[in-house]
Amino acid sequence: MATQHSRSAARLMIAPAVTLLLGWMLIPLSMTLFFSFKKYLPMRGDSLENGLDWVGFENYARFVTSSSFWPAVQATLIIVGGVLVVTVILGVILALLLDQEMWGQGIVRILVIAPFFVMPTVSALLWKNMFMDPINGFFAHILKAVGLQPIAFLSQHSLGALVTIVSWQWLPFATLILLTATQSLDREQLEAAEMDGARWQSRFIYIMLPHLARAITVVILIQTIFLLGIFAEILVTTQGSFGTKTLTYLIFQRVLESQNVGLGSAGGVYAIILANIVAIFLMRIVGKNLDA
């Protein structure tokens, strides 16, 4: 159907987008690669104009042998994984609940999606100060009111606290997608199953879950893309202490706090590799499931 003519027209139409993204990817990437093989300590007077010393793979070796590296990979995976698990499970429950008949469904839905509009900095600030603060925070007041010791969430349960904050931001997203998927469930099939005496659990496992699989995949794909890069939440709350230093945050420390651009760039290259591993892995699943 597509003629030669329309094919070349199509290529022309895709070209600007591809060129721009390629530039956006390649220019910084090649500069990052370049820096990663150099000694680049701006505070010591190193600069592009003066020329940078070649140090081979030293930055790469140093980045992985640092005692912070593996904990950072681990923290990244825990946070991303934790948020995915929480948002998908709660998202499914919420979606099934919101799908039921009730009064004021529209308003409830507005309430549920609201956190999605809150900028990450603000949401981190409000949780850290107004809620999780062990002195003046909402939770501390509640705990004291019932006679318990206030908890310093961000130090004693740092990863849990971060997962909570980020999940709060992303739960609306998961819920909305899953809700849309739930609404297209085949009611008759469900009713038939109910008539046949299938229990609630088996209806959920054999009919609802398979139907939701595609939506769950979309949630996981999109959220992972955004979650791998979370930064503001950590900068505002723990600044990487108490085991919350993710790979992204570690690179930030190397580049900006230690002012070692070479070392940070090597870290950046590792992060890109990790992101791509995750990406390929995800694409595989999604490719199968999405049938683009």
Residues numbered 129-158 forming contacts with other proteins, rule: CB under 8 A = 129-131, 133-136, 138, 141-142, 144-145, 149-152, 154-156
Minimal distance, residue 82 CB to other proteins, in Å:
18
Minimal distance, residue 145 CB to other proteins, in Å:
6
Cβ nearer to other proteins, comparing 85 with 110: 110
Minimal distance, residue 128 CB to other proteins, in Å:
9
39 binds other proteins (CB under 8 A): yes
Q: Which stretch binds other proteins (CB under 8 A): 80-88, 93-101, 197-205?
A: 93-101
Residues in 156-215 at the binding interface with other proteins, rule: CB under 8 A: 156, 168, 171-173, 176-177, 179-181, 184, 187, 191, 214-215
* Structure tokens, 3: 């003629």
Q: Which stretch binds other proteins (CB under 8 A): 62-70, 78-86, 200-208?
A: 62-70
Residues in 246-265 at the binding interface with other proteins, rule: CB under 8 A: 247-249, 251-261, 263-265
Cβ nearer to other proteins, comparing 9 with 205: 9
* Cα distances (Å, whole numbers) of residue 117 to 114, 122, 125: 6, 10, 15
Cβ nearer to other proteins, comparing 147 with 201: 147
The number of residues that bind other proteins (CB under 8 A) is: 143
In order, the DSSP letters of 232-261 are HHHHHHTTTTTTT--HHHHHHIIIIIS--H
| Cα pseudo-dihedral 65, 68, 72, 75, rounded to 10 | 130
C-alpha 98/C-alpha 249 separation (Å) is 37
Burial class (CB in 10 A: 0-12, 13-18, 19+), 162: buried
Minimal distance, residue 150 CB to other proteins, in Å:
6
C-alpha 233/C-alpha 239 separation (Å) is 9
Cβ nearer to other proteins, comparing 166 with 247: 247
Pairs from 186-190 (Cβ < 8 Å, separation ≥ 24)? 186/211
Give residue for tokens 């930064």: 231
- Residue 282 sits at φ, ψ, to 5 deg, of -65, -45
Minimal distance, residue 206 CB to other proteins, in Å:
19
Cβ nearer to other proteins, comparing 82 with 176: 176
Task: List beta partners, residue 53.
Answer: 39
